[in-house]
Chain A
Amino acid sequence: MIYSRSLRWLLRGGTAATLAFIYFPLFILALYAFNSARVQRWPIDGLSLEWVRRAAQNEGARDALFTSLKVGLLATGIALLLGSLAAFGVARYRFFGRDAVSFLVVIPIALPGIATGMALNSAFREAPLIGGIEFGTMTIAIGHATFCIVVVYNNVLARLRRTSLNLEEASADLGATPVQTFRHVTFPAIRTALLAGALLAFALSFDEIIVTTFTTGGGVKTLPIWIFQNYSRPNQGPIVNAVGLFAILLSIIPVYLAQRLTEEEVVSPAAGAAAATH
């Protein structure tokens, strides 16, 4: 349709306003990270690298970063395995209850974080057969893996659906064993989808705080928990800004890479439910 000039400008204006709304707080945060004053008032007093330097030397933040990386890698590993297994099952086989599988994969991310956190807390506490599990890095990773499965599942499933079965059939017809077919045909086709799924799972885990606060224990802090606990300490405010800026960059980079790897597929947890009932 030929959209009228005024309508076009209206829509463009709306788009620009929305983008401004989305980026404004990030810009403010970045600016405060380089604020020369301790007090966070506006307009800022001047620019300095003092807080970035102090943040880099802050041991609490460094420990928390290390914990986050550890949890992220563990959760990503589990999610990668479980998500791709489920994706293969759903993409390559037709069976009764396939919708239920998709639904089950999606539900941990579709239910409110507070319910998921509370449920995992209850279960770890009681764990009737094993007399409870000690709260810490492992319990956080188990919780994260549960809702990270969906992003791997989605990416791999979307790729498998777009990859022609003819290649796999040709491979089998030419006498390749299933293992050979997987190694030389299927795996190369889904390699980037696996990587994208893993990057997104890591980003999801790296940012999560609500479920994390219910599954941590023994003083184990991830980076978001460290930030949350330090925001109100009078002397930590500016350091939190600097650490926060770092956390944003660290979570955006894997997502950007994942987007480059998958091109047309929209990488959002919202696409998470994409697979549900398909």
Chain B
Amino acid sequence: MGVGLDDHQGLIPYRYRPPATLIGRGAAGPISLGARMTAVAHVGKLLRGKRRTQLAVLLAAPMGWLVFAYLGSLAVMLFNGLWRFDLGTQIVIKELGLSNFERLWNEAVYRTITQRTLGMAALVTLTCAILAFPIAFTMAKLAGPRARRYLLVAVLLPLWASYVVKVYAWRTILAQEGVLNWMLSPLGLDGPGTGGTGLTGIWLTLTYLWLPYMILPVYAGLERIPESLIDASSDLGASPFTTFRKVVLPLAFPAVVAGSIFTFSLTLGDYITPRLVSSSQFIGNVIYDQLGVAGNLPFAAAFASVPMVIMVVYLLAARRLGAFESL
């Protein structure tokens, strides 16, 4: 997307433009053509250098902030993860070692929690992808411009509505005396509740929370598919299902991957939802408790680097799949 525009927006238009003073308000006195050419070349060279300075001035603050405050923080966290916490004295021992990572690897409970979190992230991502298609397709291909705009806003607003309040709303829905059980009871069924260690409530809530993050990129991806391709497929006798499977889905796949970056990452990083709608432990819960309750900063830091590394790998893979072009 950016590549085509660059030819018009890069350095080139500026680089060879005569300085305004020479053509505008006029330089003092008449200048011979030759002198003028030299002057232009000279100022041009100066400007080129200047543009580099301008760029440095523009980028210094934001890049400084992100590198220093963000990447720097991640580095400190990775470093802290190599420290050790003495359980007897409750003191952080600032010696480097891999003991925290060994513990994460060797103790079954942490492996289980990591697998549970990853499994949930995958399940939520898959569910969101499936649920996103009908509405995204309707928005992209069936709705008129007006209806499309309304639908877009209707999907967009809840995405931004207070996250913790939405989790809380689910807690009241899933509660023993909540709406869900009231609706299920005539069928003789019982909802997941919020007290047990079940994962259904977490799955429902997380799917709910991240669904708009999937709908929006999938909608954008579907909108870019030319109508003619779908027409051609159906003219050649393909059923709607075949057209979807062979034409729409492959073309929309990068958009699904783009959406999955958010559904996956947000699930990995959440500890509020598991805490509010279940008593099951996710990576985030362990990190929060190790830091806040046990005061074991090194172990919390070590465990937090796990979802970080997973997401970095995920982002690199998504980039290869072309997800970034469809965001």
Contact = CB atoms under 8 A, between A and B. Distances in A.
B55 A93 contact: yes
A7 interface: yes
B104 interface: no
Contacts of A208: 163
A111 B327 CA distance: 16
B62 A118 contact: no
A174 B24 contact: yes
Interface stretch (A17-25, A46-54, A185-193): A17-25
A172 B138 contact: no
Given A15-B134, A93-B51, A269-B262, A115 B168 contact: no
Contacts of B137: 11
A259 B156 contact: yes
A116 B181 CA distance: 37
Nearest to B10: A94
A18 B136 CA distance: 10
A119 B177 contact: no
Contacts of B24: 173-175
B162 A207 contact: yes
B122 interface: no
Interface string A174-209: 111000000000000000000000001001101111
Contacts of A58: none
A247 interface: yes
B155 A22 contact: yes
B166 to A, nearest CB: 6
Contacts, number: 335
Contacts of B271: 114, 210
Contacts of B13: 165, 169
Contacts of A71: none
Interface in A254-278: 255-256, 259, 266-274, 276-278
Interface string B20-57: 11011100000000000000000000000001001100
B300 A11 contact: no
Interface residues of A, number: 112
Nearest to B214: A270
Nearest to A268: B216
A43 interface: yes
A85 B59 CA distance: 6
B166 A255 contact: no
Interface in A221-278: 224, 227-228, 231, 240-241, 244-245, 247-248, 251-252, 255-256, 259, 266-274, 276-278
Given A104-B67, A114-B269, A251-B162, A15 B138 contact: yes
Interface in A27-45: 28-29, 32, 39-43
A213 to B, nearest CB: 7
A110 B258 CA distance: 11
B62 A175 contact: no
Given A104-B63, A174-B24, 12 more contacts: A3-B240, A15-B138, A89-B55, A94-B10, A111-B265, A120-B73, A142-B69, A145-B65, A209-B272, A231-B171, A270-B216, A276-B327
11 contacts: A11-B134, A39-B177, A40-B175, A83-B62, A91-B9, A115-B307, A125-B297, A161-B9, A204-B160, A224-B163, A268-B212
